[in-house]
Structure 1
Amino acid sequence: PAPPPDLTARFGEVDQGAPKSAAAIGRTAMEDAYGLAFAASENPSTGEIPGETATVARLEPPQAPDDAGTGIPSARYVGQPMTLCKARIEHKGADKADVTVTWPDGGTRLISFYGGLPAGSDSPDEFRFTREGSLNMIRVGVSERFEITDQLALGN
């Protein structure tokens, strides 16, 4: 059976006597505070913690891993919005470069630049591109899209 919700019914009738005065309530509160203060004084303060304690955790500032690469907007599937994908650039001369794009869900695509322009990819699918200023908008097949700037690909 569930216990009765009324505390008086659960623990019995207790005579509270006359209401306590503010002075009596204050005295009880001070006695409790002194008792807690003495109990707390048995523990060392922050400045007294021994130096041989072990570090439990330390937060290091975030650092990019050595192979972090550069990000470029790309999409892998039809209808997929552009997302930032990791890209590695290998310069092979003044106007030649290979850009390897790694998608977040795995897989890579190699896009080659020659003569300062996108020249092809490692896919057997159709390769085409358009330019807006120094931005190369590249398509491979029917679904893959990439946006690579001249500065990123060729360093200029």
Structure 2
Amino acid sequence: MSSGNSGSAGGDAMVSGTDYNATGMVPCSMGSGQPTTNCNFGVKREGNGSGMVTITKSDGRTRTIYFENGRATGYDQSQADRGAFRASKESDLYIIRIGDERYEIPEAVINGG
């Protein structure tokens, strides 16, 4: 995970040349039975476990997952999206499922550290 060194209004560093507090890769899978691969992400932190994680899928489209107070609460749903949003946490890892999509987001992504 990359972090920048120029400050933002919230006191969290920004990655140079981006609007993100950190960037990196997270494990992801785009369909049932599909192998897990790595997807690029950028996170905008709002503090207290809140913020947005934007993930770039293998086809170049993005998916944004919203967090509030340390809980994954939703995503950037469009009319084309099918399937339910489900979120769980195992130790320090958020497991996010949106239909057949699956994302594994470490707690440090949203909280920093």
Residue 151 of structure 1 and its aligned partner are, at CA, apart by: 0.5
More strand by share: 2
The TM-score normalised by the length of structure 2 is 0.72
Residue 66 of structure 1 and its aligned partner are, at CA, apart by: 5.1
**Structure 1 stretches of 5 or more lacking a match?**
1-64
Larger-gyration structure (1/2): 1
Partners of 1:122 and 1:103 in 2: how far apart?
Answer: 14
Structure 2 residue corresponding to 1:152, chosen from 106, 109, 113: 109
Percent of matched pairs sharing the same residue: 35
Structure 2 residue corresponding to 1:77, chosen from 28, 31, 50: 31
**Structure 2 stretches of 5 or more lacking a match?**
1-15
Partners of 1:74 and 1:113 in 2: how far apart?
Answer: 18
Is the CA contact 1:123–1:140 (under 8 Å) kept in the aligned structure 2? no
| 2:62 equivalent to 1:105 | no
- 1 or 2 for the larger relative contact order (CA 8 Å, sep ≥6)? 2
Runs (4+) off by over 3 Å: 65-68
| 2:69 equivalent to 1:115 | yes
Partners of 2:37 and 2:51 in 1: how far apart?
Answer: 22
Structure 1 residue corresponding to 2:95, chosen from 120, 125, 137: 137
More helix by share: 1
**What residue identity is the alignment partner of 1:134?**
D
The number of residue pairs the alignment matches comes to: 91
Residue 69 of structure 1 and its aligned partner are, at CA, apart by: 2.7
1:36-67 per-position Cα deviation (integer Å, ceiling 9, x unaligned): xxxxxxxxxxxxxxxxxxxxxxxxxxxxx956
The TM-score normalised by the length of structure 1 is 0.53
